[in-house]
Amino acid sequence: MLNPLGKNPKFKGRRGPLVLCIMDGVGFGKYKDGDAFLNAYKPTLENMLKTLPNTKLKAHGTAVGLPSDEDMGNSEVGHNAIGCGRVFAQGAKLINKAIATGQIFEGEVWKETIANCKKNNSMLHFLGLFSDGNVHSHIDHLKAMMNKASAEGVKKIRVHILLDGRDVPETSALLYVEPFEEYLKKLRDSGCDAKIASGGGRMQITMDRYGANWDMVRKGWDIHVHGNGRFFKSAKEAIETLRKETKAIDQDLPGFVIQDDAGNPAGKIQDGDSVIFFNFRGDRALEITAAFEEDNFDKFDRAPRPKVFYAGMMEYDGDMKVPKKYLVNPPALERTSGEYLCASGVKIMAISETQKYGHVTYFYNGNRTGKFNETLEDYVEIRSDVIPFEQRPWMKSAEITDAVVKAIESGKYNFIRLNYPNGDMVGHTGIYESTIIAVESVDIGVKRLAEAVKKAGGVLILTADHGNCDDMYQHDKNGNLVKNKNGTVEAKTSHSLNPVPFIIYDPESKGEYKAKLKEGLGISSVAATCIEFLGFKPPEDYDPSVISFF
């Protein structure tokens, strides 16, 4: 149990609540073309940026614990940083180190995985996101494990590829598949029967999150485990055919099964096999893990459910101990701002719709599922629509705003945190016109929040976890637009490397702090800032607040 935070001698807090609004996927872009945040009609946010204290915060790379500043930030590490107040080494960085040192292969789980295959003369299956996007996974991690497994005597390896087109260019799948097939051929020449067995787009099969659409997981299960799906002779044939038929980008391609020379599935998952889910990020790993691990499972019919040795790349949920077996220990995120505020008696509300509910709860709290204090904390999930986001770009922004305004007016809470998913989830579709509407929907919500905060005598802080909607078109290294063969601009569906806004709306300010906010900080500084606005002193080892008191 943490000790309460000390009182801030320079600031006692306002009479109303502090509202932290995380505008997911909103950043300041480098290019006017394709910047949906810049180009959207957003009078409220534009006026705030002109008239209120604001600055830009770093939200990618080393500023959020990723290996290098070439690595895009993401919602998980972003909310970790915002909630924890410090920068921790995150997924990809931990995996890189574990592979470089050999630690991953010295662990008991890896040894059990290999021993199970050798004992049963069975297949080792790798399932995960197939790209170098470095947000959920990295293809280099997959190849390192395959090399080691082959060297240790595993004779049969099957890879089940989830196509990206979200953290990497939208139609880049063959840039990964074709050289990977050459790599597999070399493994086969060395005596290891290694093949791609199945695949499909990440937004069509397997990688659902927060229980939004379990049917995605069912489709993936049928394809990967049972080999039930449309057959193709190769992954390349599947991708080219399905692209032509559906006109879909990689993330939305239907699932497929690769057949062997006899016309059977090349790699069904069967009794005695080992399975490694090689994504390191947790949110889209939990549901497929439950399908493999849980005995009392009622989301879909798994029968027949094979008896396999299953392991995840990392522990995806520390509280629920999921998965039961994992290869690399996650970062230890402790003494988060939420835990400190509960220890200090602060009444808290956290709210978003399903797509980002886990971000303002689980990830914000340092990868912790439960509440720190059942009495002081209220968590509210508004169910997301199960529909392509570009068709409903406003998502649940109005419903989230309704609930937050009501909470502000109730006088029940000292601290309210919310997430508008629009800029990120719609930005990932690559549909620029829809993303413009997504940003405008957030602006409407922000206006209502500001009005409620002013009436209650509170403070509104606006920020983001990473960029996305600010960079919707592909540009080359010279800043020129990249066009497809048909002459249309190539959409960008991944996060950006751009800084994000930090705006303070404090209508009852009495000049206690400088109007010019600090520059050069990362989003981990949000926690200390919030703590100060609530009338407390941040822990000494937290990253510095954005404000400076007189």
- Phi/psi region, residue 437 (left: phi>0; alpha: psi -120 to 50; beta: rest), is alpha
Q: Strand locations in 363-497, DSSP E? A: 377-382, 415-420, 459-463
The answer to whether the bond into 4 is cis (omega within 30° of 0) is: no
Distance CA 277, CA 311 (A): 6
Distance CA 80, CA 83 (A): 5
- Judge whether 150 counts as a catalytic residue: no
- With vertex at residue 235, the alpha carbon angle to CA 231 and CA 240, rounded to the nearest 5 degrees, is 95
Q: Which of 75, 122, 131, 384 is catalytic?
A: 75
How far from the centroid of its chain's Cα atoms is residue 240's Cα?
28
DSSP state of 516: S
Distance CA 167, CA 171 (A): 11
Q: What 3-state DSSP class applies to 462?
A: strand
Give the position of tokens 């009182």: 7
Distance CA 246, CA 256 (A): 13
Lookup: tokens for 434: 């829809």
Q: What 3-state DSSP class applies to 414?
A: coil
Distance CA 442, CA 44 (A): 10
Instruction: Report the candidate in 241, 207, 244, 242 with the shortest Cα–Cα distance to residue 224.
Output: 207
Q: Give me the active site residues, please.
A: 75
